[in-house]
Amino acid sequence: MLKIKNLSVKTNNIEILNNLNLHIKAGEIHVIMGTNGSGKSTLAKTIVGHPQFKASKGEILFEGQNILKLAPDKRARLGIFLSFQYPTEIPGVNNASFLRMAYNTHQKSQGHPALDPLEFEDLLQNKLKIANISEKYLDRAVNAGFSGGEKKKNEILQMAVLEPKLAILDEIDSGLDIDALKSVANSVNSLKNKNNAIILITHYQRILNYIKPDYVHVIHKGQIIKSGDKTLAHKLEKKGYEWLITNP
Amino acid sequence: MAHHKSIIIKKNIVKTLILTEKKDTDITYNITMQKNSKLTLINIKNNIKSTDHTNIILAENSSLNCIYISLPKETIENHIQVDLNGKNANCKLNSLSIVNKENKIINKTLINHNFSESTSDQLFKNILNDHSYSEFSGLIHIKRHAQKTKANQLNKNLLLSDTAKSIAKPQLKIQADNVKCAHGSSTGQINQDELFYLQSRGLTIKQAKTMLIMGFAKEIIDFITIKKVKKSLEKLL
């Protein structure tokens, strides 16, 4: 599904990703861990086409197509989704209208009919349950004044509505209490199937008590320095990143 | 030709006036609001040029809710003077202008707090495209006896082109010592983080920009509670 080959990314002339390689198949969950500033979020933002992060070298193939020159909205319509570490607050833009427009844009690009507000409301009921978020957030402006946990649940709601092939969850666990963490993890598990893939970016092992990854990768200085299964995350939790950085 | 129109809102009366001018105008409205009266004044000007003066006097316990929507052809000037002459008189002035080409919107307000415990809230928003121009000048004058006045004034401008220009002159003149006042002005372009967020969900850049511009306008449109007017306005925009 996703093949990242020799990817280097600079922002403000500083190299953040350096020859990074990563292959992800449909049905897999990959965890990316690493210290602050190691390049985790840069990788996420580069995949979805954030204008501040431009590849200086390498390619990103999504289902065989190099997406590096595609605008962010085109990448989204191909089925790539980023759950933001800090979801943007958008005052004045109604959450339900935004969700419906996003959904219909995806429908249209796949040659499916658009849903009117009533039809979409029906579809939303089930999605609200999956994301475990109250209906009242639909009538509010996108993320405006939401708590940290509500923002993350709203990201999951968008994921549930758009059903991406590849979902990148950037620190979906940060700022969540245990109950919210469990809820978000349950939502992610129920959205997971054999046709989609997830990249889970995190600092901590604790979310892996609920979401079982197929692979764990450690990023350091813009490169993947170690890959393994979920036991790698346990080791990191015990020994810290220093252990890996000094003994790669 | 300048016209004068006098309107009296009698004691305890609740009234809504919707002024939608179809032709170029040059009118002076003199509105007197008596005790305990309520007036909603909706003024919609679409594709006309006009210079209007609206003078409104509020007595004790009266409340005024003004909404100005302006889409100028050449220039629209709205001159609004409000005199709060009694205790608990309060006024809200909300305005949305959408200006294209080389057209201009000029909003000038003068709020006189002449009596104690009155309130005023002003929000003037402008969406400016092409070579358009906006000017907001607002003076809040709190007289010596107008203790416990609350007054707010805010002007926000959204610039959609590098060649649009906006000028803000918010002014306060305070002669009482126990008042709460705030005023400010902000001018900016479409927020790039917001734009990227919407795009990352599949909205085209055009859809995303439209959504953000409508979001900016919505705050004012939402003050209109008459469904029919609100709908026709949303269509117009």
- Amino acid B76: pLDDT: 97
Confidence check: pLDDT of A164 > 90: yes
Closest CA to A230 of A196, A202, A188: A202
Contact list, B188 vs chain A (CB under 8 Å): none
- Domain extent listing, chain A: 2-37+50-246
In B, minimum Cα distance to A47 occurs at: B200
Count of helices and strands (H, E) across chain B: 3, 12
Determine, for residues B201 and A91 on separate chains, whether the beta-carbon distance falls below 8 Å.
Answer: no
- Is the sign of the CA dihedral A24, A68, A37, A148 positive or negative? negative
Contact list, A92 vs chain B (CB under 8 Å): 212, 214-219
Confidence check: pLDDT of A238 > 90: no
pLDDT tens-digit map of A176-196? 999 999 999 999 999 999 999
Determine, for residues A73 and B211 on separate chains, whether the beta-carbon distance falls below 8 Å.
Answer: no
- Amino acid A203: pLDDT: 87
B/e letters for A17-40, b = 16+ CB within 10 Å, e = fewer, are: bbebebebeeebbbbbbbbeebbb
Confidence check: pLDDT of A248 > 80: no
Mention every residue, 6+ apart, whose C-beta is less than 8 A from residue B232: none
CB-CB neighbours of A122 under 10 Å = 9
Which residues, given as ranges, of chain B have pLDDT below 70?
Answer: 1
- Amino acid B3: pLDDT: 87
pLDDT tens-digit map of A90-117? 999 999 999 999 999 999 999 999 999 9
Give me A71's structure tokens: 């605008």
Helices A148-162 + A178-191 axis angle, to 10: 10
- Amino acid A175: pLDDT: 86
- How many Å apart are CA A208 and CA B36, to the nearest integer? 64
For A45, the 3-state DSSP assignment is helix
- How far is C-alpha B183 from the chain's CA centre? 14
Tell me if B123 sits within 8 A of B97, measured CB to CB: no
Confidence check: pLDDT of A135 > 90: yes
DSSP label at residue A114: P
Confidence check: pLDDT of A119 > 70: yes
Determine, for residues B200 and A82 on separate chains, whether the beta-carbon distance falls below 8 Å.
Answer: yes
**Where does residue A136 rank: exposed (0-12), middle (13-18), buried (19+ CB within 10 A)?**
exposed
Start-end of H helices in chain B:
192-199, 205-221, 227-236
Contact list, B208 vs chain A (CB under 8 Å): 73
- How far is C-alpha A167 from the chain's CA centre? 5
- Please report the ipTM that was assigned to this predicted complex: 0.96
Contact list, A101 vs chain B (CB under 8 Å): 203, 207, 211
Determine, for residues A105 and B202 on separate chains, whether the beta-carbon distance falls below 8 Å.
Answer: yes
- How many Å apart are CA B7 and CA B9, to the nearest integer? 7
pLDDT tens-digit map of A16-30? 999 999 999 999 999
Confidence check: pLDDT of A40 > 70: yes
- Amino acid B234: pLDDT: 82
Q: What is the distance in angstroms between the CA of the first residue and the CA of the last residue of chain A?
A: 28
CB-CB neighbours of A140 under 10 Å = 17
Mean pLDDT is lowest, of A39-43, A219-223, A232-236, B75-79, for: A232-236
- Amino acid B1: pLDDT: 56
Q: Which residue out of B158, B200, B206, B223 would a mutagenesis test of the A interface target, given it has the greatest number of A Cβ atoms within 10 Å?
A: B200
Count how many Cα atoms sit within 13 Å of the Cα of residue A1 in the half-sphere of its side chain.
21
Query: Looking at domain A2-37+50-246, does it have CATH number 3.40.640.10?
Result: no
